[in-house]
Amino acid sequence: MSQNVSPIPLPPVKPNQYRELFTNPAARTYLMVAAGGLLVALLTMFLIGSLIATVLLLMVGLCGLVLRWSAMPIFFVVLVCYFSYAPLGVPFVFGSISNIPTSNFRFLDVVLVGGSLVYLIGQYRLFSIVQSGMPFDANKLFVKTRAKPTVRPAEAPRDRELWMLFARVGIFVLGGQLLWYAITNWRVDFERVPPVVFMAPIEGFRRSDTLFVPDYLSRFLLAFGFFLAVAIVSRFVFWYWRLLQLQRDQAQMILIDTQWSEDRREMNRQEKWRGWQKGKILGTNRTKIGCGGWFLALGLPLILLVLFILVLNLSSG
């Protein structure tokens, strides 16, 4: 076997072994990455002044990293958002109202978001290494209780993989800030075409009360519109790409299926007649009436009869 051929697969990693976090090179690497991200997020929350958030996030992070509780990343996101909203942990006791247009590219936000993203990426990649990287193909009913899930092999990640991780953290943190900048500086104005205005003073929008869009709704519409546009464009691109890559048997299947969809009612009628004739020849046609048939044959006339008698009685009375 030549040098550039992948080695023989390593034995699968045994789950539920805490020692594995340090013996498995891949797990060890991502444990460190996630711990680093968690530390940055904790430090930022501490600087914001939320000590309780620091403690709770530490507990959540440790549960995720050491105990591998799979819900912890979601709890982490929820907790970070909650303590950003209420740093003291008490709801409805807010800090000062933010000046939203100037809330872009604040240092603590960038660090907090970056640290959180690193933690989440590291945590989920760690799950793929020590817990489960791919779902089972079979229905859940047929998966044995002690079946081993597919996990990433215990090889040290390459440098390029880690560099790409930090590169994408930078890109998406920047993207998030830019998106927030865009939707806080653009406004929806249905009196204009196109119905968006950049950096317009809010007073200028009160020309008509019926078409006035509040700030929060404007931000929502812009964000929703952005993600919808991304989804539509992606969908179209991948749809066209899939058509380009279509193989012969797949294309044949599409043609057959389309033709069947168009003609299925007529073909269904033919098949019913064919089945009826076949049953007649073989003498296997049903002679009994099903329960639905009985209802139609007896129930419905009975109801009509009762109604008829009722009507006649009442009218004569």
Partner 1 sequence: MLTSRGYWFLFCIAEVALVGVLLAARYAPTVPILAFTLVLWFIGEWIWFWIRTNAAHSRISIERHILQNDRELPTLWAGMDCTVRITIRLKRGFTLPFVSLADKLPVGQHIQAGHRRNITRLSASEPVVLEYTIHPKAPGVVRFEGIEFRMADLCGFFYRRSFFRLPTEYLVLPPLTDDDGTQRANKRFNTLPPPGVHRIRRAGSGTELLHLRDYLAGDPPKTIAWKASARKDKLITKELESDVPVRCVLFLDASNSTRLGTVGNTPLAKLAGIGAGVLQAAASDRDLVGLTVFDETGAKVQKPARTRRHTMQLLRIFAETAGRPAETTDGDAATLQRYAYSLAQDIYPDMLDKRLNSRPFGLFWIPLLDSRLKWLLILPLLWQLFTWKAEGFNTVVQTTLDITRPRSMNDLPAFLIVFLFLMLAPTVLTGIYWFLFGIRGFLPTRRQLLSERKQLGALFASRDGDTPASIERCISDDEFFVAKASRFLVEHHHQPPPKLFEPNGDYRFRCPEKIPILATSLLRTIGMARDNELYIILADLVELNDDIEPLLKSIRVARGKHHQVLVLLPWPEDLPPPRDPRAPVNELPKKNRTALGSVIQFTLIGEYHRKFEALRLKLVRAGAHVVRVNQGEPVRLILARLDRIRGAGIRR
Q: Binding to partner 1 (CB under 8 A): which residues in 7-26? A: 8-9
Strand spans (E) along 173-226: 186-188, 196-198
Stretch near partner 1 under the rule CB under 8 A, chosen from 15-23, 32-40, 50-58, 247-255: 247-255
Cα–Cα distance between 115 and 48 in angstroms, integer?
A: 14
Binding partner 1 by CB under 8 A: which of 172, 185, 213, 225? 172
DSSP assignment of 281-299, as one string? HHT-S--S--HHHHIIIII
Stretch near partner 1 under the rule CB under 8 A, chosen from 49-57, 132-140, 186-194, 197-205: 132-140
Question: Distances in Å between the alpha carbon of 48 and those of 36, 154, 181?
Answer: 18, 38, 22
The packing angle between helices 51-62 and 25-48, to 10°, is 170
Q: Does 249 bind partner 1 (CB under 8 A)?
A: yes
CB of 62 to partner 1, least distance (A): 20
Stretch near partner 1 under the rule CB under 8 A, chosen from 15-23, 54-62, 166-174, 201-209: 166-174
Q: Does 59 bind partner 1 (CB under 8 A)?
A: no
Stretch near partner 1 under the rule CB under 8 A, chosen from 55-63, 67-75, 185-193, 194-202: 67-75
CB of 313 to partner 1, least distance (A): 9
Q: What sign does the dihedral 160-163-165-167 (CA atoms) show? A: negative
Stretch near partner 1 under the rule CB under 8 A, chosen from 2-10, 51-59, 194-202, 205-213: 2-10
Candidates 175, 212, 178; CA nearest to 197 is 212
8 Å CB contact between 196 and 222: yes
Stretch near partner 1 under the rule CB under 8 A, chosen from 16-24, 58-66, 169-177, 191-199: 169-177
CB of 46 to partner 1, least distance (A): 15
Cα–Cα distance between 129 and 161 in angstroms, integer?
A: 14
8 Å CB contact between 43 and 49: no
Candidates 191, 73, 199, 178; CA nearest to 124 is 73
Binding partner 1 by CB under 8 A: which of 70, 208, 277, 284? 70
**Shorter beta-carbon distance to partner 1: residue 202 or 254:** 254
Mention every residue, 6+ apart, whose C-beta is less than 8 A from residue 202.
187, 215
CB of 185 to partner 1, least distance (A): 13
- Computed on alpha carbons and rounded to an integer, the radius of gyration of the chain in Å comes to 32
The amino acid sitting at 33 is: V
Q: Does 177 bind partner 1 (CB under 8 A)?
A: yes
Q: Does 202 bind partner 1 (CB under 8 A)?
A: no
Q: Does 279 bind partner 1 (CB under 8 A)?
A: no
* Positions 82 through 121 that interact with partner 1 (CB under 8 A): 84-85, 94-95, 97-98, 100, 103, 109, 112-113, 116-117, 120-121
Binding partner 1 by CB under 8 A: which of 52, 77, 200, 213? 77
Q: Does 275 bind partner 1 (CB under 8 A)?
A: yes
